[in-house]
Structure 1
Amino acid sequence: MNIDKELDARNLNCPLPILRCKKALNELNSEQILKIMATDPGSKKDFDAFCRQTGHTLLEMQETEGVFTFWIRKRSA
């Protein structure tokens, strides 16, 4: 998967991972992909809800050793 920007939100608690994700997505063009790494266990449901509410696409989510990695495609303009 071609990543256009990465965001390290590890060791940040809600709502900071979502707020930083929103800021990073604002810096991307439509259809570009943002990779986010977070350690907050609530981030799984937070990013799912964020994408449903904003129209962005949650392409994939993986968990490895307590780190949640999300790939989000920015919605079309």
Structure 2
Amino acid sequence: MVDIIADFELDVKGQCCPYPLVKVKEMLDTLEKDEVLMVISDDPMTPQNIVAWTKKSGDVLISIEKEGDVFTIYVKKN
């Protein structure tokens, strides 16, 4: 497990694609540069959607961790 300190947490467990990514984009729009968002999701599409999004948006994917069926994804606002 990576020791990353998140400024904000977004729990989207139980939500299916595309809703987790929509919520992540909405949340990132409210963050200041260099703030870190921790996303918790159990949708297997969420990690790859966030990877694709960060490549387009310029935000930074810090880490993707998986424990059981739950993903914890850290994204830094750029």
Under TM normalisation by the shorter chain, which class is it?
over 0.9
Give the counterpart of 2:43 among 17, 40, 44: 40
Count of matched residue positions in the alignment of Structure 1 and Structure 2:
75
C-alpha displacement of 1:42 = 1.0
Is it true that 1:11 corresponds to 2:39 in the alignment? no
One of 19, 24, 28 as aligned partner of 1:25: 28
Question: Structure 1 stretches (4+) deviating beyond 3 angstroms?
Answer: none
What TM-score comes out, normalization by structure 1 length? 0.93
- Percent identical among aligned pairs is 27
TM-score by length of 2: 0.92
Q: What CA RMSD, in Å, does the superposition of the two structures yield over aligned residues?
A: 0.7
Q: Is 1:61 paired with 2:64?
A: yes
